[in-house]
Amino acid sequence: MSSKVPAPGRERADFIREIIAEDLRSGRHKTVVTRFPPEPNGYLHIGHAKSICLNFGVAREFGGRCHLRFDDTNPTKEEQEYIDAIKADVHWLGFDWGEHLYHASDYFERLYEWAIHLIKAGKAYVDDLSADEIREHRGTLTEPGKESPWRLRSIEENLDLFQRMRRGEFPDGARVLRAKIDMTSGNINLRDPVLYRILHASHPRTGNAWCVYPTYDFAHGQSDAIEGITHSICTLEFEDHRPLYDWFIENLPVPSRPRQYEFARLNLSYTVLSKRFLLRLVSEGRVRGWDDPRMPTISGIRRRGYPAEAIRDFAAMIGVGKRDGVVDVAMLEHRVRDVLNRKARRGFAVLRPLKVVIENYPEGRAEELDAVNNPEDPTAGTRKVRFTRELYIEREDFMEDPPKRFYRLAPGREVRLRYAYLVTCREAVKDAAGEVVELRCSYDPATRGGDAPDGRRPKATLHWISAAYTVPAEVRLYEHLFTRPDPGAEGDLLADLNPQSEEVIGGGLIEPGLASVPMGETVQFERLGYFCPDPDSKPGRPVFNRTLTLKDTWVRLQARGRHDE
């Protein structure tokens, strides 16, 4: 049989891609249909991004399609806000479901009919045990479960009770519908799993039409079958659910036979990927919201200034495997720096300004000097920066009494001001408290552009800003949200929160051109790192977030041979 399977792109072949390629080659499937099935009970995080890149990625590579399906079976925790955020996040990552937007709730009627089908086949029953009793009857990994006394109800009684459950005749928790499989099964998921529970709750999409809702297990595989999903890809914790997934498919008149495959979820150092915990950080006000730049959510990452391309690169780099592990967050940061180094335009900003007066430079003069926008990209061109008698440099670039390896500015020392001149510090002016408040310097007019005709080369080049041509800015510096690589390892996640994960600097200065950087673009403040405008910006008062510093710890770790990937 001729094969039309497109060659995989730069993604490495992994076991999922191999299975799909083989299924297409053998003719088992004509096309590949995957789905990304979030529950809209929170914002998506970087772990979900791995799943999105996998599901949408393989569909794209093999010429199939990927559905976005909201797994909205638990109305008490789900909200429209989350649905909207999830859609925006998938689009931002660069993927599109086209016409194929679905909701498990679209299938409530069909799922209900299938529950009736199981009852009529003697394969489901209404159980009056309480949730606690059901748990007690379930047994453990080493002990078999016990059958419920209600397990032998007649089909007629089950039908009657289940219909009355739907009509709202019973309060929450009074009864459930369970599959009748095997209370002694070695797989606990097969010990008569719950299919429906009573919940008198309004649903974001179906309103008050229902007061019984299907469980995840009952809804998920059947939704896959309804949509003609060929490869239902999920994380390893569902491996033990697969026999149940298959049991439903075998025992129901479903229109197609999807198969479930499991891969290892993403875990990242210094990061917690659990919607429940992230929700807690938001609701307790420990962060600025779901999109706080320190959050591992896709919206947080976006607000932090990480490019979507870097997330996709990261997903490709970590690959898809079967073994759980923890990925070093430095690897993600490495991908971000890699993209930004190539693409981010450069500019000058001074976070903690120290005034410099060039005593031999005429007052009132403003000279335009050429600055390179991106040394990695000649097409980005140049811009003009203005040099004047009064400037600002970074406070930490001056030391009155420099230690041995400090090459930056100090009394009597000459440094280069980037793109401008060589300047020499003549005097440090102090206030009454003894703090340096101003530097009196001189410049060498023969060094315009930064090179001396006599070839002398200062050891340091500093960034600077004209005092006359600058815009004040608030700058927010971010560090990891947790102090340790394995947050919660000692039992308390909150105790591991990094109290220094955000530092707000009120008195920053940026070069005027940076004040108009559009939202969504990340730039490099030379020598300081990558920064992006924050939505909190106001006209005339920009706010910038530090995306990352310039130093790449991943490269250092690799050089030390600690990581081989």
- Interface contacts to ligand ATP, rule CB under 6 A: 37-39, 47-48, 50-51, 234-235, 265-266, 273-276
323-343 in b/e form (b: 16+ CB < 10 A) is eeeebbbbbbbbbbbbbbbeb
Min dist. Cβ of residue 340 to ligand ATP (A): 24
For ligand ATP, the closer of residues 54 and 385 by Cβ is 54
Min dist. Cβ of residue 70 to ligand ATP (A): 9
Map residue 418 onto helix, strand or coil: coil
For ligand ATP, the closer of residues 95 and 348 by Cβ is 95
Other CB atoms within 10 Å distance of the CB of residue 459: 12
What is the distance between the alpha carbons of residues 104 and 85, in angstroms, rounded to a whole number? 18
Map residue 194 onto helix, strand or coil: strand
**Max CA distance (Å), the chain:** 102
Q: Which of 525, 369, 396, 373 is nearest to 450 (CA)?
A: 369
Question: Mutual orientation of helices 46-61 and 80-92 as an angle, nearest 10°?
Answer: 60
What is the distance between the alpha carbons of residues 232 and 108, in angstroms, rounded to a whole number? 20
- Residue numbers annotated as active site: 39, 265, 275
Min dist. Cβ of residue 564 to ligand ATP (A): 22
Are 311 and 93 in contact by the 8 Å Cβ rule? The answer is: yes
**Edge-to-edge, what's the strand order for the sheet holding 471-478?**
346-347, 523-525, 529-533, 543-548, 471-478, 502-510, 349-350
Residue 182's identity, in one-letter code, is: D
Which pair of structure tokens corresponds to residue 5?
């399977």
Min dist. Cβ of residue 315 to ligand ATP (A): 10
Given phi > 0 = left and psi -120 to 50 = alpha, else beta, which region is 448?
A: beta
Q: Which of 108, 493, 60 is nearest to 270 (CA)?
A: 493
- Using Cβ positions, the residue closest to ligand ATP within the complex turns out to be 47
For ligand ATP, the closer of residues 234 and 471 by Cβ is 234
For ligand ATP, the closer of residues 319 and 450 by Cβ is 319
* Pairing verdict, β 471-478 and 502-510: antiparallel
The torsion angles phi and psi of 240, rounded to 5 degrees, stand at: -70, -10
For ligand ATP, the closer of residues 116 and 273 by Cβ is 273
Min dist. Cβ of residue 273 to ligand ATP (A): 5
Min dist. Cβ of residue 483 to ligand ATP (A): 21
For ligand ATP, the closer of residues 276 and 551 by Cβ is 276
Min dist. Cβ of residue 74 to ligand ATP (A): 10
Say how many residues make up the chain.
Answer: 565
Sign of the alpha-carbon torsion through 236, 240, 244, 247: positive
For ligand ATP, the closer of residues 181 and 268 by Cβ is 268
For ligand ATP, the closer of residues 167 and 276 by Cβ is 276
Min dist. Cβ of residue 218 to ligand ATP (A): 15
Q: Which residues contact 233 (CB under 8 A, 6 or more apart)?
A: 16, 34, 51, 54, 55, 58, 260, 261, 262, 263
Residue for token pair 């996998």: 54
